[in-house]
Amino acid sequence: MKKLKGTLAGAAFIALAVLPAATALAEGDIVIIGTDGSQAAAETAPNGVYVGNIAVGGMTADEIGQAIDNYINTVNGLQLEVLSEKGSTRIAVADMSLSCSNRDALIDAAIGNQNIGNLITQYKQAKDLERNNLRLEMDLSLDASALASYLISQIPALESAPVNPTLSRNENGEFVFIEGVSGFAIDYDGTYEAVQEALSSYDGSSDTLQVQVSGVETEPAYDMSVFDGFGDVLGEWTTNYNAGGDSENRAINVRLATSKINGTVLMPGETFSFCAAVQPFTAEEGYRDAGTYIDGQAVDDLGGGVCQVSSTLYNAVLWAELEIPQGGRKPHSKSVDYVLPSMDAMVYVKDGSDFRFTNSTDHVIYVEAYTTKASGSTEDVTFRIYGTEYRPANRTIDYESIVLEERWPDPVYEIVYDDSLDMYEDDPGRDVIYNETLEMPHKMIRSKLVKHVYVDGVEQGEAIYMHTDTYGLTVGKLALNSKTTITKIEYDPDTLGIIELELSNIYLDEAKNNPTPTPTPTTEPETTKEQETTKEAETTKTPETTKVPETTATPEPTAPPETTASSETQAHSTEASAEADTAPQEE
């Protein structure tokens, strides 16, 4: 900022006077009025001197000081309007505590009470001053913190961030590429100086000071070259789930979370967060209570089931060979049935567990996600990742889930007797639920995932190790009423889901054999005897007991079944789908 347009410190302006002949001095002598006041008239500023835009010629020191103060008071009553291409914003100058920090120096410079040179030189300087003027600039002082606070809070509204190019899909499924837009970034230092300049040069013609902000145009981080070659499917995956009936809430959660991810665009280097994309897990958002694991317990909670969505996306990312940052994928605490071991991705909002991946290619990627009706009451969820193929055409990959160890619970199911499930003795034919699966069993599984790379069908080196996971063991629980016993139970050796369950209950058995109770006749003892004999035989056949009889179930396998890598959808309709899912989803 320019401080002066002339001489500030030490400036000398001469007051000239010719004394009357009546004095004791010789005729024709010229006297220079000194600074001690011994022969001085009133000290005033010469004509042609300005302080800012104030003409102070002929003013005394006190008058100059008052003029400066009046100017500062006037400017403090103004509004400062800062403008940019996006609009404008205002602040009261008084809020910035404007003052003049060089007030005294300006007064001394304007009066010019020092003699410089001989009489002729001084006279010439005075005449030059009248013709050319001397402008002394005020050194305005602002409350820097107040101005900075204003700039920080208001100026961003006058900026515009650059917009990267992107893409979308039209109603015909065609990809549409959209160009980026340049932005505008404000130069804060330059704007600060412009504000000070406007305040110093105020001419009193308006009640508003306008300042045009200075800044630079900012370009998007990417140009249209990120779309070169776009349109290849880099990876995709599909899993299956039950829908309708008891599984409808879970199906709703899967559909909702999938729809939130569909259409995701990631520029090179950008990282996707599953939890950020599908939250919040609230009823207002549309999520329902469904089966999930919290602290190792199977419970119903909002968003249950969305872990199947994250796991399906994880497999699509595997096949696209995109980067998964450290900590970007975690396994469930219990095994799930919709993907192979070590091919799942758990999310749990409460402890920050998330599924994340990065677009590690040089081009944009687009995530397509949708659900479709499958067979019967089941549906499919599919993820497809589009981009620019960056791998050689003769190179292929495959993933293998290898079970290192597995162990079945023993016993597979624990029987829990629940009095609330008991039938009414006075109404043995009443149709009520008399057994209930409280919790599905889970094997302990330790597994690892490896990747195989082939060129022209020939594997290149050894399999690439991905990670090792351990899934916990859980004993299943069956709830029965106290009058019920198990006569037969069979379960799937892979899922441990119950295939066949036969129960016996004395009241149910009696109701089946005596659908319409017959009153006992008093004149026909033989009939009564026959009925009693029949009843006794039935009772002997199925005695009342709370002990679980030995099962005729298919023996549990002594070794885990062979596990092979597969890209086929895995679904087991026999399991209640209480896998470790989200919202919060997992311990």
Give the per-residue SS3 of 65-134: HHHHHHHHHHHHCCEEEEEECCEEEEEEHHHHCCEECCHHHHHHHHHCCCCCCCHHHHHHHHHHHHHHCE
> What pLDDT sits at residue 65?
93
Q: Name the band, by pLDDT with cuts 50, 70 and 90, for residue 39.
A: very low
CA separation for the pair 399, 396 (Å, rounded): 11
> What pLDDT sits at residue 131?
65
* 59 within a domain of the structure (yes/no): yes
Q: Name the band, by pLDDT with cuts 50, 70 and 90, for residue 270.
A: very high
**Are 76 and 216 in a shared domain?**
no
Q: Name the band, by pLDDT with cuts 50, 70 and 90, for residue 149.
A: confident
CA separation for the pair 526, 500 (Å, rounded): 41
Say whether pLDDT at 455 is over 80. yes
Mean local confidence (pLDDT), 537-543: 35
Q: How many angstroms separate the Cα of 575 from the Cα of each of 175, 339, 437, 472?
A: 40, 14, 10, 17
CA separation for the pair 239, 315 (Å, rounded): 10
> What pLDDT sits at residue 101?
87
* 424 within a domain of the structure (yes/no): yes
8 Cβ contact partners less than 8 Å away, ≥ 6 residues apart:
102, 105, 106, 109, 136
Cβ–Cβ < 8 Å for 440, 382: no
How many structural domains are present in the chain? 3
Say whether pLDDT at 19 is over 70. no
**Are 211 and 270 in a shared domain?**
no
Cβ–Cβ < 8 Å for 110, 136: yes
Structure tokens at 269: 């280097």
* 168 within a domain of the structure (yes/no): yes
Q: Of 163, 195, 224, which residue constitutes the final position of a domain?
A: 224
Domain that holds residue 176: 155-224
> What pLDDT sits at residue 220?
95
**Are 177 and 293 in a shared domain?**
no
Q: Name the band, by pLDDT with cuts 50, 70 and 90, for residue 356.
A: very high
**Are 426 and 535 in a shared domain?**
yes
**Are 316 and 360 in a shared domain?**
yes
**Are 417 and 510 in a shared domain?**
yes
Say whether pLDDT at 76 is over 70. yes
**Are 217 and 108 in a shared domain?**
no
**Are 425 and 301 in a shared domain?**
yes
Mean local confidence (pLDDT), 37-64: 78
**Cα 208 from chain centroid (whole Å):** 42
* 566 within a domain of the structure (yes/no): no
**Are 125 and 238 in a shared domain?**
no
556 or 330: which leads in pLDDT: 330
* 421 within a domain of the structure (yes/no): yes
Furthest-apart CA atoms within the chain: distance in Å: 174
**Cα 89 from chain centroid (whole Å):** 30
CA separation for the pair 339, 334 (Å, rounded): 12
65 or 303: which leads in pLDDT: 65
**Are 137 and 177 in a shared domain?**
no
Q: How many angstroms separate the Cα of 549 from the Cα of each of 485, 499, 537, 543?
A: 7, 18, 19, 11
> What pLDDT sits at residue 152?
74
Say whether pLDDT at 20 is over 80. no
Say whether pLDDT at 240 is over 70. yes
* Least confident window among 10-19, 237-246, 305-314, 495-504: 10-19
* Least confident window among 52-56, 163-167, 474-478, 570-574: 570-574
Say whether pLDDT at 564 is over 70. no
> What pLDDT sits at residue 426?
57
* 198 within a domain of the structure (yes/no): yes
Cβ–Cβ < 8 Å for 345, 584: no
* 150 within a domain of the structure (yes/no): no
CA separation for the pair 183, 161 (Å, rounded): 5
Mean local confidence (pLDDT), 197-221: 83
Q: Name the band, by pLDDT with cuts 50, 70 and 90, for residue 432.
A: low
Say whether pLDDT at 61 is over 70. yes
Q: Of 224, 247, 266, which residue constitutes the final position of a domain?
A: 224
Say whether pLDDT at 586 is over 50. no
Give a three-class secondary structure readout of 537-568: HHHHHCCCCCCCCCCCCCCCCCCCCCCCCCCC
> What pLDDT sits at residue 562?
39
326 or 563: which leads in pLDDT: 326
> What pLDDT sits at residue 194?
85
Work out whether strand 395-407 and strand 444-455 pair parallel, antiparallel, or are unpaired. antiparallel
Say whether pLDDT at 177 is over 90. yes
Mean local confidence (pLDDT), 514-533: 45
pTM of the model: 0.63
308 or 515: which leads in pLDDT: 308
Q: Name the band, by pLDDT with cuts 50, 70 and 90, for residue 502.
A: confident
* 425 within a domain of the structure (yes/no): yes
**Are 511 and 391 in a shared domain?**
yes
> How much is the CA Rg of the chain, to the nearest whole Å?
45
> What pLDDT sits at residue 514?
63
SS3 474: strand
Mean local confidence (pLDDT), 338-348: 95
**Are 278 and 396 in a shared domain?**
yes
111 or 234: which leads in pLDDT: 234
Q: Name the band, by pLDDT with cuts 50, 70 and 90, for residue 297.
A: low
